[in-house]
């Protein structure tokens, strides 16, 4: 069976680009279902336990600190640390 796209309800906005739920789609392929953002293409964890479970897993990511966007200062710090590590290797 090919890729199936369905409408979605009860899902939180994308934790990456913070877009409304209108930008989300529920997708199914090869027996797995996941939520995907139409704008940034972020994908939630896939599951073989159906649509409701895929939405629950997507919603759980919203409060996960690993999915929160970095601030500009945090990005600068990461880049500076990376440059220092590169200089140490030379």
Count the alpha carbons within 13 Å of 42 in the hemisphere toward its beta carbon: 20
Taking only the tens of pLDDT, the chain with its 90 residues reads 455 555 577 888 887 777 666 788 888 888 899 999 888 888 888 999 988 889 888 888 766 666 566 678 888 888 887 766 555 555
Q: What pLDDT, on the 0 to 100 scale, is given for residue 1?
A: 43
H or E, element range at 73? helix 72-89
pLDDT at 86: 56
The pLDDT score that the predictor gives to residue 49 is 93
Q: How far is CA 39 from CA 19, 30, 49, in A?
A: 8, 23, 25
Domain ranges of the chain: 4-89
What is the structure's pLDDT at 18? 73
């Amino acid at each position: 069976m090919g890729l199936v796209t369905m409408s979605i309800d009860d899902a939180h906005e994308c934790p990456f680009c913070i877009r409304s739920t209108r930008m989300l789609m529920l997708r199914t392929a090869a027996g797995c279902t996941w939520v995907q953002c139409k704008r940034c293409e972020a994908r939630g964890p896939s599951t073989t336990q159906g649509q409701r479970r895929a939405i629950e897993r997507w919603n759980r990511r919203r409060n996960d600190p690993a999915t929160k966007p970095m601030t500009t200062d945090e990005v600068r710090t990461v880049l500076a640390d990376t440059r220092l590590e590169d200089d140490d290797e030379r």
